[in-house]
Structures are given as C-alpha cells and as structure tokens.
Amino acid sequence: MTCRIHPSILSADFANLETELTRIHTADAVHVDVMDGHFVPNLTLGLPIVQRLAQVADLPLDVHLMIEDADRWAPGYAEAGAASVTFHAEASAAPVRLARELRAAGARASMALRPATPVEPYLDMLPELDMVLIMTVEPGFGGQSFLDVTLPKIRRARRAVDGTGLPIAIQVDGGISRDTIRRAADAGADVFVAGSAVYGAEDPAVAVDMLRNLAGA
C-alpha cells in the first residue's frame, strides 16, 4: 500500500503560510483545516485564504471542512482548486448529492467521521467517495493524543473499502506521530495527516519522510 503524508498547516506559522509550504516539500499534499467556530469550538481560516493557497502551493490542497452546513459551502472549496474536499458526515444533510457536486467541480470527494460516528450507515455510499477520513481525535484542535478506540473503525472501513474494489483512500487525522502512525497503518489507513509531528520538528521535510517510512515499514 502506498502511504501518503499530508501535513496540517494548523500547526504552521499563519503569518508566513507561503514559506511554511516550502518547508514540507517532501509531502504528498497539504492538509488545510477549515473550522467555523460552530461545528467545532475553534475558528481558523476560510475560502479567501484557501483560494490564495491554491494559487501559490506546489502541493495539492487537501481541504478538511469542520464546518456546519457543508452542503452549502463545500462546493466553493472545490471550485477554488482544492484537490480534495472533505466534509463531515455529521454536517451534511445530503452527503451523496454533495459528494457528486464535489466531483463535478473537479475535486476528489471525501467524507469525515468524528470518533463517535459509526462508519456502517455510510458504507452504501462508498462508491461516491474518493476518500474516507476517520478522525483519530475529536476535531477542533491540533496536538491532541491519538485515540486507540478508533482503530477498530479504521479496520472496518478498510474491509469495506477493499470489498468495493475501488481505490478509495482511508485517511486518519489527529495525534499521528512516530509513536502512533504504525498502529493506524496496520489498521488499514493509507493517508496520514500530521500537524504537530511535522511542524514541531526541526526539519518538517525530514519529519515527513520519516513518518512515511514508518507507515510503510
């Protein structure tokens, strides 16, 4: 399995985002956490900044929307040039329709599940998705500890994805580090978001390569 590392700029220097992108040149994409202060108790950045990042970034943008009313706002991020747009299942009234809209706008469609949200109700819609994000912390903040309780859900998602025969990625996000990435990979994840473990390192580009090696080992 090819393992991909998507550093989260939530842990980067928000005053120097363009420079911060160059520090992760070894990454496979850059993970952009959009939070609205309602779906999660934190507020980060929104569409105007994502539009600019899409213009200046060499890496594909992996946008993670932690916002309410995803049906209304998510397509705009696809139109802005995001390579993938992840909305939360808990924030969409019509996830199948939304996934189709994202694909029609040229993005990969992805759906996220909070730690307490089961994957089973959504298995039928897997063919509509390019990626499933299993949150491994409660969304909202960087620097939290990986929740081992999510491992069985990653395994169930992997079995279901393999059953479709489709190349659907399984992303994990939250608490991914040198100590935890192997566990998530063993459970079946193949795309790994890491914020503090990358930007907290002396050389983020080296940290990315190290994480990828550990995941694929």
8 lines the binding site for ligand DX5 (CB under 6 A): yes
Residue 186 among the catalytic residues: no
Nearer to ligand DX5, 6 or 158 (CB): 6
Task: Single out the residue of 4, 23, 31, 88 in contact with ligand DX5 (rule: CB under 6 A).
Answer: 31
Give the shortest CB-189-to-Zn ion separation in angstroms. Answer: 14
CB 40, min distance to ligand DX5, A: 7
The end-to-end CA distance of the chain, in Å, is 10
- 216 in contact with ligand DX5 (CB under 6 A): no
Q: From residue 32 to residue 71, what is the string marking binding to ligand DX5 with x (rule CB under 6 A)? A: -x------------------------------x-------
139 near ligand DX5 (CB under 6 A): yes
List CB contacts of 124: < 8 A, sequence separation 6 or more: none
Q: Is 140 one of the annotated binding-site residues?
A: yes
CA angle 43, 44, 50 (to 5 degrees): 140
Q: For ligand DX5, which is the closer residue by CB, 148 or 162?
A: 148
C-beta of 162: minimal distance to ligand DX5 in Å? 25
Q: Which of 60, 144, 156, 183 binds ligand DX5 (CB under 6 A)?
A: 144
| From 28, 33, 130, 190, the catalytic residue | 33
Q: In Å, how far are 38, 43, 93, 197, 202 from 49, measured between CA atoms? A: 19, 13, 26, 23, 26
* Spatial separation of the C-alpha atoms in residues 186 and 207, rounded to whole Å: 20
* 33 carries an active-site annotation: yes
Q: Applying CB under 6 A, which residues contact ligand DX5?
A: 8, 10-11, 31, 33, 64, 137, 139-144, 173-176, 193-197
Catalytic residues: 33, 173
